[in-house]
Amino acid sequence: MWRRVVSLSPVISSSKSSLLNQAAYRFRIWESFATEIINPGKCGISPMEKTPFITFVLGGPGSGKGTQCIKIADTFGFMHLSAGDLLRTEIASNSEDGAMILNTIKEGKIVPSEVTVKLIQREIESSDCHKFLIDGFPRTEENRIAFEKIMGVEPKIVLFFDCPEEEMVKRVLGRNEGRVDDNIDTMKKRLNVFTALSLPVINYYEKKGKLYTINAVGSVDEIFEKVRPVFAECEEMTQ
Ligand code: ADP
Ligand code: C5P
Ligand code: MG
């Protein structure tokens, strides 16, 4: 069994740009807020290591997940893992799945769960951090179930950035990061995928009482002020 009582307080926080960077952390007792363990035997993390505190960060394309995750990571010392960034890194590294991932992203479809979960698993298991923001995952019920099966944990909390489609389209088309999927045709497909496949995941976590819905309209700082109390509450529970 994982030890349930010890977690970590980061000294250095991570961000999207330092995805693969391992920060140094010091220990702190964190008793009451350990991530729920549903299948300890199957998680790749050694039994003697500490339970990761998982937060899933969900929302449609362009809802501001990545932007807010950087601020949460900097302020509250979480490691930020963007599923989309991990997949793009995999494409760039010419891995055997690279071509398949690129085609899937161009089509606005969802990469097979085992591929994405393995990338997330590798990051979690190679990190000394115990507090993770998993951004843009799970996108489907299949993603969610694969994560639970492979990692053997559930998220403690789930954030949902709720943003009108019109605003998401405006943001994505103005993102200017040279992404192959930030065009109007792929965006329409991504919005359809979000409605058909991702909303059921959000509803699932709402029923479980784990969902924090944040109205994602407003300035970046205004939205972060709505996010802050969620994590401030977590911090209090770690004292
Ligand atoms: P996601 O990760 O959900 O796809 P991003 O965080 O990448 O979204 O944001 C999409 C685009 O919108 C980026 O160009 C970002 O700078 C911009 N953006 C993020 N939050 C806001 C906001 N609150 N208001 C206006 N633009 C925003
Ligand atoms: O989250 P982001 O917008 O960076 O995701 C870009 C694309 O990566 C998605 O539209 C999808 O094609 C792919 N993706 C996926 N499964 C995930 C996350 C992202 O297939 N869990
Ligand atoms: Mg993003």
Q: Half-sphere exposure of residue 199, counting CA atoms within 13 Å on the CB side?
A: 9
- Of the two residues 217 and 13, the one the predictor is more confident about is 217
Q: What is the DSSP letter of 50?
A: B
- Mean pLDDT throughout 44-52? 57
Supply the mean pLDDT for the chain: 83
Question: Coil, strand, or helix at residue 11?
Answer: coil
Per-residue pLDDT of 73-132, as tens digits, reads 999 999 999 999 999 999 999 999 999 999 999 999 999 999 999 999 999 999 999 999
- Of the two residues 34 and 201, the one the predictor is more confident about is 201
Q: How far apart are CA 98 and CA 88, in angstroms?
A: 8
**In contact, 111 and 104? CB cutoff 8 Å:** yes
Residues ≥6 apart with Cβ < 8 Å to 119: 83, 86, 87, 90
The pLDDT of residue 198: 98
- Which ligand 1 atom is nearest residue 174's CA? 14
Would strands 6-10 and 25-29 be described as parallel, antiparallel, or unpaired? antiparallel
According to the 3-state scheme, what is the secondary structure of 154-220?
A: CCCEEEEEECCHHHHHHHHHCCCCCCCCCCHHHHHHHHHHHHHHHHHHHHHHHHCCCEEEEECCCCH
Instruction: Give the distance (Å) from ligand 1 centre to CA of residue 61.
Output: 9
**In contact, 129 and 19? CB cutoff 8 Å:** no
Q: Is the pLDDT of residue 59 over 70?
A: yes
Distance, CA of 62 to chain centre: 14
Q: Is the pLDDT of residue 162 over 50?
A: yes
The pLDDT of residue 175: 98
Residues ≥6 apart with Cβ < 8 Å to 64: 161, 163, 171, 216, 220, 223
- Which ligand 1 atom is nearest residue 176's CA? 14
Instruction: Give the distance (Å) from ligand 1 centre to CA of residue 177.
Output: 11
**In contact, 148 and 39? CB cutoff 8 Å:** yes
Residue 59, ligand 1, Cβ within 6 A: yes
Q: Work out the pLDDT band at 233, boundaries 50, 70, 90.
A: confident
- Mean pLDDT throughout 200-226? 98
Residue 66, ligand 1, Cβ within 6 A: yes
Alpha helices in 20-163 (DSSP H): 65-76, 83-92, 98-106, 113-125, 141-151
Amino acid found at 29: I
Q: Is the pLDDT of residue 195 over 50?
A: yes
- Mean pLDDT throughout 150-162? 97
Percent of the chain residues topping a pLDDT of 70: 78
Give me the domains of the chain, ranges plus CATH numbers: 19-27+51-238 (3.40.50.300)
Of 94, 194, 216, whose CA–CA distance to 136 is shortest?
194
The pLDDT of residue 230: 96
Q: Work out the pLDDT band at 236, boundaries 50, 70, 90.
A: low
Percent of the chain residues topping a pLDDT of 90: 76
The pLDDT of residue 49: 61
Q: Work out the pLDDT band at 218, boundaries 50, 70, 90.
A: very high
- 65-76 vs 220-238: helix axis angle to the nearest 10? 40
Least confident residue range of 8-17, 108-117, 125-134, 201-210? 8-17
Residue 158, ligand 1, Cβ within 6 A: no
The pLDDT of residue 234: 78
First to last CA, the chain: 24
The pLDDT of residue 42: 30
